[in-house]
Chains A and B, each alone.
Chain A
Amino acid sequence: MTAPTPATGTPRPTRPRRSPFVALSLLAGVVFTLYCAAPRPLGIGVDLGAIASNLTRGREIIAQLLRPNFAFFPRTVTPLIETFQMAVVACLIGCAVGLPLAFLASRVTAPGRWTLTIDRWVLNVVRALPDLLYALIFVAAVGIGPLAGVLALIFFNIGVMAKLLSESTDAVDVGPVEAAMAVGASRTQMVRSAVFPQVLPNYVAYSLYIFELNIRASTVIGIVGAGGIGNVLNTQMKFFNFSNVALVVLELFLLVLLIELASVSLRRRLV
């Protein structure tokens, strides 16, 4: 496979042999997926035929889901507002607490190796717990209601913000950081004047994303009675009122869509 030597000029270097690693890992991925989909008890038993033959069984539920019961609307207003308020409060507190934690978890801004390691560990633990578990813990601690939901969302939000923002902070231009150290600024001043302005657009974007996550998470944390529209959703599902469920889902869909539209225009103005 040597390239033909050209008539003139320097000989063309041959391309180094590609490592078989990429092809092998692709193959391994395919095999592993097949294993997971294999018939029970080996895998979960993905059976395309069953999907087709059982499709009609869900007809009743799907038919109800396609006919949202708008008469149910008045009873969803208060819980929906509650979900919105929970999302606002948790997002504000979570993002405020997440900001300094993000800077402590980034190599660029952390004051020392120990702070960095400890903070990253704490954040890993905070993030490893799912929002549902937080909701369970706080329902047990402070009782059923939106307070438990807000507390659960705050922890969830701190984890998300600190993770995302610390990664953005790792990627900032370190030139201004050196300049700030050279003028005799303290570390806090350096972070505020040289790093924060660089990650501000990310911070805004992540905050809006977290707000959106909170609206979605309300469906999950409502299951354990942590307030908001999730409670309603859970109850209606238990009573098989799928027309009512459909209305709630539609409302959540519109709410998330609205937030997305608002955040796009807000980001364009701020960044």
Chain B
Amino acid sequence: MIRFDRVSVTYRGGVHALRDLTLEIPDGQFVVMVGLSGAGKSTLIRAINGLVPITSGSVFVDDQDVARASGRELRRIRASVGMIFQGFNLVKRASVMDNVLMGRLHSTPGWRSLLGRWSAADLELGFEALERVGIVDKAWVRASDLSGGQQQRVGIARALAQQPHIILADEPVASLDPPTSHQVMRDLKRINEELGITTIVNLHFLDLARVYGDRVIGLRGGELVYDGTGAAADDGAFRDIYGRSLTAEDVLETPAA
């Protein structure tokens, strides 16, 4: 379970990214978070794994206080939280497998990671993760030789290799074309259902949020302005989130194929 208790994040320079936010996400839920750029979506996600330090309040992951965790504890929390990025964040020169097995670093002894010699068990976990996103045949290809959609699947496989309880996805489809976006969203949803991994996805596109979100959270100016089911998130709700009426630019327009 993830719990935000009156969390505020203020960046240097005085930008209030999150304001007094309280939120609870039970295990196994598939949550889609929407909001304009700068509404605090990325900050909220990065507060969960401690990549962004919070200014006040507390964030709990499985009852562990992220802000008060020691370096070692924080790394253990991060190990249980997989993360997927808008820009994929792969080492492009390295093989797909080396990228995926980055997800095993939390339980790899120092000498092994220095030599780059993965154990047979970790290698098998890497293959399983790639199998789950359907690109196991690309295991030894250079990451830069893959298409955008395939690269994002490597990103997902890297998160899966961690064997996480939680997956955070920060704008995972913002760099992809509409059909590929749906494929990636379906992958995430399927993984959530099959493995019961709590999943939080930041999205720009409202129609995707409606289709995939069991629960939709709307942020505006660092505050929670909507929290409900995807089905109930009507145009009025989105007006609250975006502070204006929907336009064609807010939707992806391609039906889930």
A residues with a Cβ closer than 8 A to B are 173, 175-176, 178-186, 188-189, 192-194, 197-198, 200-201
Contacts and interface: CB of A to CB of B under 8 A. Distances in A.
Interface in B78-92: 78-79, 81-83, 85, 87-92
Contacts of A175: 85, 87-90
Contact of A178 (B51, B74, B98, B114): B51
B105 A184 contact: yes
Given A189-B105, A192-B113, A193-B102, A183 B91 contact: no
Contact of A188 (B82, B110, B116): B110
Given A175-B85, A175-B88, A183 B110 contact: no
Contact of A182 (B78, B90, B91): B78
Interface string B161-205: 010000000000000000000000000000000000000000000
Given A179-B158, A189-B113, A197-B98, A184 B79 contact: yes
A211 to B, nearest CB: 23
Contact of A183 (B92, B116, B158): B158
A interface majority secondary structure = helix
Contacts of A198: 91, 93
B6 to A, nearest CB: 25
A198 B87 CA distance: 16
A183 B85 contact: no
30 contacts: A173-B92, A176-B89, A176-B102, A179-B83, A179-B89, A179-B90, A179-B155, A181-B78, A182-B81, A182-B83, A183-B82, A183-B106, A184-B75, A184-B76, A184-B78, A184-B79, A184-B162, A185-B113, A186-B105, A186-B110, A189-B105, A189-B110, A192-B114, A192-B116, A193-B98, A193-B116, A194-B91, A198-B91, A200-B93, A201-B93
A181 B76 contact: no
Contacts of A201: 93
Nearest to B104: A183
B102 A180 contact: yes
A186 B75 CA distance: 8
B64 interface: no
B213 interface: no
Given A175-B89, A186-B105, A194-B102, 8 more contacts: A173-B92, A175-B90, A178-B51, A179-B155, A182-B81, A183-B103, A184-B106, A200-B93
B114 A188 contact: yes
B105 A182 contact: no
Question: Which residue among B88, B91, B103 has the maximum number of chain A CB atoms within 10 Å of its CB?
Answer: B91
Contacts of B162: 183-184
B218 to A, nearest CB: 25
A194 B158 CA distance: 13
B56 interface: no
B104 to A, nearest CB: 8
A197 B102 contact: no
Contacts of B114: 188, 192
A79 B234 CA distance: 84
B123 to A, nearest CB: 15
A176 B90 contact: yes
A197 B88 CA distance: 17
A175 B155 CA distance: 12
A185 B78 CA distance: 9
Interface in B34-72: 49, 51
Contacts of A184: 74-79, 105-106, 162
A91 to B, nearest CB: 22
Contacts of B116: 192-193
A104 to B, nearest CB: 16
A89 to B, nearest CB: 23
A183 B82 CA distance: 6
Nearest to B71: A186
A197 B91 contact: yes
Interface string B133-152: 00000000000000000000
Nearest to B77: A184
Contacts of A200: 93
Nearest to B106: A184
Nearest to B155: A179
B94 interface: yes
Contacts of A181: 51, 78
A35 B114 CA distance: 55
A85 to B, nearest CB: 28
B105 to A, nearest CB: 4
